[in-house]
Chains A and B, each alone.
Chain A
Amino acid sequence: MREVMEPTVRGMAAEGHPYTGFLYAGVMIDAHGTPKVLEFNCRFGDPETQPIMMRLRSDFVELIEAGLDTRLHQVTAQWDPRAALGVVMAAGGYPDHYRKGDVIHGLTSQEHADTKVFHAGTTKINSQIVTHGGRVVCVVGLGDTVLQAQTRAYAVVKQIHWDGAYYRNDIGYRAIARERKS
């Protein structure tokens, strides 16, 4: 924050373009521990937004209004202390050419407190939900540990299917390895 985000926000203001909105920095830590900026995103990341929203307890409208009114320093975001983990299910062929229009099965309509299916490339045709993009859904699980969040997310992932659906099986493995060590 001190070495990258704050000087960036100050610099944009000094150049006459004060920055309001989400700002993400892709940063690399070099061998000397210095953060080096690789890129910025001027919006909330996708799919990072999905697990982050699952953990946000504050009224999000209040936080955004504070940002617009330049009084962010007066508010503090409240977070669910649990881990959130999101698994993206993609259409066969993504990120290159992929099919659209495959009927998606197993989208549970009942709400679970610890999991949520966020749609991405989906649309409704004749009352059926079909694929409409490369990244089709992102299933998020909450858990007291990353392992529990992962277990919950994949339990829902396994219920959802369409022709050509695929996903990574190892989301969160590094965090889980760290959890096991500590």
Chain B
Amino acid sequence: MKILIIGSGGREHALAWKIAQSPKVARVFIAPGNAGSTQENKCENVEIGATNIAELLRFAQREHIALTIVGPEAPLVLGVVDAFRAAGLRCFGPTRAAAQLEGSKAFTKDFLHRHHIPTAAYGNFTDVAQAVAYIKQHGAPIVVKADGLAAGKGVILAATEQEAIAAVHDMLAGNKFGDAGHRVVAQTPAAWARIHRRRS
């Protein structure tokens, strides 16, 4: 069978390398891939960007791709799985609606609340003054996140109220993360040092 892997990072190189080891697999295409993925046995890069869903779909149809695996979050949040499924193609990843678990931190916080899944105290804000008031009410340490996708960099672990307020200004007023930062989530971890360790 022929496989298409969407993405260009180390993750996609590793996925391609592993997938190519399957005796079921004849060929692995990586769109767009990198200099490492194209060197692997059975593997070949395709010059299509990871979020160019229309072109990815055309390629998959033309090449009779049996299975598509999506690496990064951006095409998932844009609905690549929905588009492939609608065309009758098998694509592994969450639909656009399911990908909100990552694509919208506000959705996720509300979802967790609805289903009584434990999460830290939080507030969603689009207004600087309201966010600042929340931070002053809860104090530091506090986590400030950009609501949308910010390539894993939209999370500020603020040790002081000043740091948290500066982060809010950067995101809501300073446009630091573009659209991803037009809504922020502030939450109060009891043990923020733990999170820091997880991520370091």
Interface positions of A (Cβ within 8 A of B): 3-4, 7-8, 10-12, 15-23, 26, 28-31, 34-47, 49-50, 52-54, 56, 59-62, 64-65, 67-68, 88, 95, 116-124, 129-130, 132-133, 135, 137-138
Contacts and interface: CB of A to CB of B under 8 A. Distances in A.
A42 B67 contact: no
B110 to A, nearest CB: 11
Contacts, number: 199
Interface of B: 1, 3, 8-11, 13-15, 17-19, 21-25, 34-38, 67, 69-73, 76-77, 81, 90, 92-95, 97-103, 105, 108, 111-112, 114-120, 143, 145, 153, 155, 187, 189-191, 194-195, 198-199
B24 A59 contact: yes
A56 B102 contact: no
B108 A117 contact: no
Given A44-B71, A129-B35, A30 B143 contact: no
8 contacts: A11-B115, A44-B15, A46-B11, A46-B71, A47-B11, A95-B153, A123-B34, A132-B34
- Interface majority SS on A: helix, strand, loop or mixed? mixed
A49 B190 CA distance: 29
A60 B22 contact: yes
Contact of B94 (A10, A19, A36, A132): A19
Given A17-B95, A43-B93, A65-B67, A36 B14 contact: no
- Interface majority SS on B: helix, strand, loop or mixed? mixed
Nearest to A124: B35
Contact of A64 (B36, B92, B102): B92
A42 B35 CA distance: 26
Looking at A59, A67, A118, which has the most chain B CB atoms within 10 Å of its CB?
Answer: A118
